[in-house]
Amino acid sequence: MGHEQPVLGIDIGGSSVKFCLLEAEEIVAQASKEYTDGKHPTSVLQLITEQMAEWNYSGTIGIGFPGMIENNIILDAPNLGQEWNGYNFPTELGNIVKEQIHIINDADAAALAMSKQTEGWDSEHILCLTLGTGIGSAWLRKGELETGTEYGRLVHPQFNCSLEQWASVATMNRSALSMEEWALRLCSVLTFLETKFNPDRFLLSGGITVASSEWLDMLLQGIQTPVGISRFGHLTGAVGAAKLHSV
């Protein structure tokens, strides 16, 4: 059997860009770059090409992006800015690096990464949520990925704002909420989704899940649906993006 080439996975976030090299389902390298020159397309392209040069990487690239995407065209990116609207990321990056590039919504990428984790729950409808600058969502329905949900933009009737405006990690930081206060807000979001969509299980990902020991118990006290945490932590989106080439 030939040696499997590593694949570059990229997760474009609201505050940073995360990278991983995935080889035979294992992370062999990882990195994160903070935005230093804004979040506009040329700055993000520069961060990507810099990381590729540092790793001397050439090969397939998968990208998880925080916005709605159709036929490789970004329709909107509320946490990055209007400059991204109508932008063809694979084409623009491909013009620079001359590699095969795939793109998917970041929450869909995270769900794809976690699909391996759900193999014992093949009969379940699992709602995957990505916690970060916003709240991304995707379903794993009996092991099959269902994309395009954007539940973070739903308005919570009790709080008169979107779910991600109420309980994203960015909101916690901006409003200086304690971990307990934020966990209570997240619990109200999961309760709303539990009632509206009746999932068999929640799976959570995002950098905040690395510290889940500080808030998961508080969350579980308020909801009935089982909750799981991604085993890839802050790299979940990047890992899922790297898996795009095999989908």
pLDDT given at position 25: 86
Query: 104-127: per-residue pLDDT in tens?
Result: 999 999 999 999 888 778 899 999
Across 224-233, average pLDDT: 95
Residue type, 26: E
Mind listing the pLDDT tens digit for each residue in 55-110? 999 999 999 999 999 999 999 998 899 999 999 999 999 999 999 999 999 999 99
- Average pLDDT rounded to a whole number, residues 147-158: 94
Q: Residue 58: how many CA atoms within 13 Å on its side-chain side? A: 3
Same fold, 7-109+236-246 and 122-231: yes
> By three-state DSSP, how is residue 155 classified?
strand
Nearest Cα to Cα of residue 125 among 220, 201, 23, 223: 201
State how far the Cα of 149 lies from the Cα of 219, in Å rounded to an integer: 23
Minimum mean pLDDT range among 33-37, 59-63, 168-172, 219-223: 33-37
Mention every residue, 6+ apart, whose C-beta is less than 8 A from residue 82. Answer: 76
CATH class of 122-231: alpha beta
* Cβ within 8 Å of residue 167, ≥6 positions away: 135, 182, 185, 186, 188, 189
Tell me the C-alpha distance between 141 and 180, whole Å.
31
Q: Can you give the pLDDT at residue 1? A: 37
What pTM value is reported for the model? Answer: 0.93
* Residue-level pLDDT at 2: 44
pLDDT of residue 14: 87
| Per-residue confidence band for 247, with pLDDT thresholds at 50, 70 and 90 | low
Q: Which two tokens stand for residue 174?
A: 């901006």
Mean pLDDT of the chain: 93
Give the start-to-end residue ranges of the domains of the chain.
7-109+236-246, 122-231
Q: Tell me which of 3.30.420.40, 3.40.50.1820, 2.70.50.30, 3.40.50.2300 is the CATH number of domain 7-109+236-246.
A: 3.30.420.40
- Which positions ≥6 away from 210 have C-beta within 8 Å? 233, 234
Matching residue, tokens 């050439």? 58
